[in-house]
Amino acid sequence: MHHEFPVHPVPANFRDAHINAEQYRSMYQRSIEDPDGFWGELAGEFLSWDQPWTRVVDYDFTKGEANWFDGGKLNVSYNCIDRHLPERADQTALIWEGDDPGDSMHITYAELKDHVCRLANALKARGVKSGDRVCIYMPMIPEASYAMLACARIGAVHSVVFGGFSPEALKDRILDSDCQVLITADEGVRGGKKVPLKVNADKALDACPDVHTCLVVRRTGADVAWNGERDYWYDELVGGQSTDCAPESMDAEAPLFILYTSGSTGKPKGVLHTTGGYLLQSAVTFKYTFDYREGEVYWCTADVGWITGHSYIVYGPLACGATSLMFEGVPTYPNYSRCWDVVDKHGVNIFYTAPTAIRALHSEGDEPVTSTSRASLRLLGTVGEPINPEAWEWYYKVVGESRCPIVDTWWQTETGAHMITPLPGATDLKPGSASFPMFGVDVALLDESGKEIEGPGAGYLVVKASWPSQIRTVYGDHQRMIDTYFSNYKGYYFTGDGASRDADGYYWITGRVDDVLNVSGHRMGTAEVESALVLHEDVAEAAVVGYPHDIKGQGIYAYVTLMHGHAPSDDLRKELIALCVEEIGPIAKPDIIQWAPDLPKTRSGKIMRRILRKIAENELGSLGDTSTLADPSVVDKLIADRPQP
Ligand code: 6R9
């Protein structure tokens, strides 16, 4: 288990961190033995409540039910903004760094309040009420955060859809949660290129007659089509509104947001998070995992369209009164030094990114890094996929100059906040290991039969008890919640990940054990890509698997069987790639398409994905038993035709 890499002990300048090793052990133990006492205290310390709760937690995993802080009332936007004003009105809440290195601005907590209240009033003026769903399809601009917080302020439920998703994907998500308002921009700007958000929104809204209001931020000033009955310019509708809007007092279990994520079957699921527990765990983990200190500048490079952007650009940092940097661009534009230039420009102390970005930067060598100062950096973090120890070591030695601990944070859209992670003042770091569970997170490994593994070993990663920021339901389909997370192993939350635990109790996440791909940290169901491919009239069948990719972590490998009488061609390959982009978005482009006259199937007609995975991985020596195949010769043919990646 990665023994060749040295352990990095807690550095001297982290001895006075919020949490040391001894505190971690005693707080962790208490959190498991007495969750009510533990979380009750933190809920009082971290959040402001309008009304106290009468019970901390009650849950039933067999029914997929969890109730945290029953009877308690609070408002998320009040907690992220207003209550900080007495001491931080003039402190920067958000630093915005534009795609163009010459473009940036600071938004103070006082300004944030004005922006959020104006937008909240505008939403009210358009008839949005507590409980209504609002879709947010935005580039990485401050208005994306204002929109989330404005919804929270009036009790509306936001559904942020990643700006890289296609009109088709946007439409599905708007319809699934019955959003009647969409907030978007004329265009986005990323890496010097324009993203046609309003054009995409128009296409999606053609099929969404219930959307009565589309609010459009002017980002580039592009000429866009206009529906006079439905479309409103953001500055025109919002600009004149009052900067006062009383925060709605919400039940602790009131829905805060829906965020769609991919699973192994069917359409993406609308993961629902609620108010009190979600905000508490995102705030607590923000402070402790990143050891956040007063006045520090913190930068998470995720997009707000993903859970990492929700919990660790917006809610966690702002609940803690931090200064959070939001970046519109990409790490490689205008050059490979961009991240470190931004670090130097804004004095970033804590930097949180994905392994795929680290690998992409690593592949360009050390010079773009070493030509910058990075003296402000104190802590580094990663999230989204397993980090290979080589990339970890490079991040540690070259980016962090061996003085910044790395927190490798394992968690999911469904978990809402960090679940397994080192704490920089408490944990000796092993490169590639997410190390130990967060407070209140009771994890276990199960074997094939569902029995808990004691001591070192490998198995399915599960959680044994509810945690505050857990998923509450799959929007509109609670049965799917039960089937997906609480049925494989009765009494446990099933993560879909495999992991091992070493002799020191460190966890090493090995990746998904289901048909979910992780491409550059983006989750995608193989079934989603397959559904897109078979939409083509020439395609009879498609099977999609992941394979190891140097930069993306996993690449998409598609086996495609054509209809009888149709021949493969380069044009067809291009059409199929275009279909995936159209149906899902550019992140779903297959890296390799292999024309497969036949797929390996069992006699009952089930595709043997295990074998397809091995061929895609080029692990031809370990194909395993092929004797149950209806026609074993299919495999030899696929191997012989395997395209060279
Ligand atoms: C936060 C986020 C969740 C899946 C998860 C796992 C993978 C995330 C990881 C990691 C190894 C880490 N994952 N963090 N694997 N080490 N530190 O990424 O949420 O988009 O829902 O993806 O990502 O496979 O199950 P989400």
- Taking only the tens place, the pLDDT of each residue in 245-267 is 999 999 999 999 999 998 877 78
CA of 593 to the centre of ligand 1 (A): 26
126-145: average pLDDT: 98
Last residue of a domain, one of 426, 461, 494: 494
Here the CATH number for the domain that contains residue 628 is 3.30.300.30
Cis previous bond, 52, omega within 30: no
**One domain, residues 453 and 544:** no
In this model, does residue 2 exceed pLDDT 70? no
- CA nearest neighbour of 386 among 515, 521, 285, 290: 521
The residues with which 232 forms a beta bridge, in sequence order, are: 215
Q: Give the span between the Cα atoms of 538 and 566, in whole angstroms.
A: 7
Q: Where are the alpha helices (DSSP H) in 185-337?
A: 197-205, 234-239, 276-289, 307-309, 316-319
Q: Give the span between the Cα atoms of 36 and 58, in whole angstroms.
A: 10
**One domain, residues 484 and 616:** no
Ligand 1 within 6 A of 412 CB?
yes
In this model, does residue 3 exceed pLDDT 60? no
3-state secondary structure of 446: strand
Ligand 1 within 6 A of 307 CB?
yes
384 annotated as a binding-site residue: yes
Domain membership of residue 2 (yes or no) is no
CA of 230 to the centre of ligand 1 (A): 38
Ligand 1 within 6 A of 386 CB?
yes
Count up the domains in the chain and report the number.
2
191 annotated as a binding-site residue: yes
**One domain, residues 110 and 217:** yes
Radius of gyration of the chain (CA): 24
Q: Give the span between the Cα atoms of 491 and 485, in whole angstroms.
A: 10
**One domain, residues 349 and 201:** yes
In this model, does residue 608 exceed pLDDT 90? no
Residues of the domain holding 92: 12-494
Ligand 1 within 6 A of 289 CB?
no
Domain membership of residue 145 (yes or no) is yes
Confidence of residue 621 (pLDDT cuts 50, 70, 90): confident
What pLDDT score does 610 carry? 87
Task: Give the 3-state secondary structure of 333-380.
Answer: CCCCCHHHHHHHHHCCCEEEECHHHHHHHHCCCCHHHHCCCCCCCCEE
Of 381 and 608, the one with more pLDDT? 381
Here the CATH number for the domain that contains residue 269 is 3.40.50.12780
Across 241-250, 469-478, 480-489, 510-519, least confident range: 510-519
Q: Give the span between the Cα atoms of 633 and 531, in whole angstroms.
A: 27
Atom of ligand 1 nearest to the CA of 409: 17
**One domain, residues 520 and 487:** no
CA of 49 to the centre of ligand 1 (A): 31
3-state secondary structure of 535: coil
Ligand 1 within 6 A of 297 CB?
no
Domain membership of residue 375 (yes or no) is yes
520 annotated as a binding-site residue: yes
Domain membership of residue 1 (yes or no) is no
In this model, does residue 473 exceed pLDDT 60? yes
ipTM associated with this complex: 1.00
What pLDDT score does 81 carry? 99
Residue 576: φ, ψ to 5°: -70, -40
332 annotated as a binding-site residue: no
Domain membership of residue 501 (yes or no) is no
CA of 346 to the centre of ligand 1 (A): 28
| Alpha carbon nearest to ligand 1 atom 11, residue | 386
Write out pLDDT tens, residues 401-435: 999 999 999 999 999 999 999 999 999 999 999 99
The answer to whether the beta carbons of residues 254 and 274 sit under 8 Å apart is: yes
Q: Give the span between the Cα atoms of 290 and 293, in whole angstroms.
A: 9
Q: Give the span between the Cα atoms of 356 and 340, in whole angstroms.
A: 16
What pLDDT score does 606 carry? 77
| Alpha carbon nearest to ligand 1 atom 7, residue | 385
What pLDDT score does 645 carry? 59
**One domain, residues 170 and 253:** yes
Confidence of residue 21 (pLDDT cuts 50, 70, 90): very high
190 annotated as a binding-site residue: yes
In this model, does residue 1 exceed pLDDT 50? no
Ligand 1 within 6 A of 134 CB?
no
**One domain, residues 458 and 530:** no
Domain membership of residue 550 (yes or no) is yes
Domain membership of residue 325 (yes or no) is yes
CA of 413 to the centre of ligand 1 (A): 8
Ligand 1 within 6 A of 496 CB?
yes
**One domain, residues 473 and 606:** no
Write out pLDDT tens, residues 538-563: 998 899 999 999 999 999 999 999 99
64 to each of 22, 33, 257, 281, how far by Cα in Å? 34, 22, 18, 19
Atom of ligand 1 nearest to the CA of 512: 24
- The torsion angle over the Cα atoms of residues 408, 410, 412 and 414, rounded to 10 degrees, is -130
**One domain, residues 418 and 549:** no
In this model, does residue 457 exceed pLDDT 80? yes
Confidence of residue 4 (pLDDT cuts 50, 70, 90): low
Ligand 1 within 6 A of 269 CB?
no
CA of 53 to the centre of ligand 1 (A): 32
Q: Give the span between the Cα atoms of 547 and 557, in whole angstroms.
A: 7
385 annotated as a binding-site residue: yes
- Which of 307, 438, 495, 509 to mutate to test ligand 1, by most ligand atoms within 8 A of the CB atom? 509
- Mean pLDDT across the chain: 96
| Alpha carbon nearest to ligand 1 atom 10, residue | 385
Write out pLDDT tens, residues 258-301: 999 988 777 899 999 999 999 999 999 999 999 999 999 999 99
What's the pTM value of the predicted model, to 2 decimals?
0.94
| Alpha carbon nearest to ligand 1 atom 19, residue | 412
What pLDDT score does 112 carry? 98
CA of 26 to the centre of ligand 1 (A): 27
Last residue of a domain, one of 494, 528, 545: 494
443 annotated as a binding-site residue: no
What is the percent of the chain with per-residue pLDDT over 70, rounded to a whole number?
99
CA of 24 to the centre of ligand 1 (A): 23
What pLDDT score does 129 carry? 98
The answer to whether the beta carbons of residues 59 and 79 sit under 8 Å apart is: no
What pLDDT score does 628 carry? 76
CA of 570 to the centre of ligand 1 (A): 35
CA of 278 to the centre of ligand 1 (A): 18
**One domain, residues 423 and 567:** no
What is the percent of the chain with per-residue pLDDT over 90, rounded to a whole number?
91
| Alpha carbon nearest to ligand 1 atom 8, residue | 384
| Alpha carbon nearest to ligand 1 atom 5, residue | 412
- CA nearest neighbour of 91 among 75, 113, 117: 113
**One domain, residues 299 and 180:** yes
494-505: average pLDDT: 96
**One domain, residues 461 and 358:** yes
The answer to whether the beta carbons of residues 624 and 614 sit under 8 Å apart is: yes
Ligand 1 within 6 A of 410 CB?
yes
What pLDDT score does 303 carry? 96
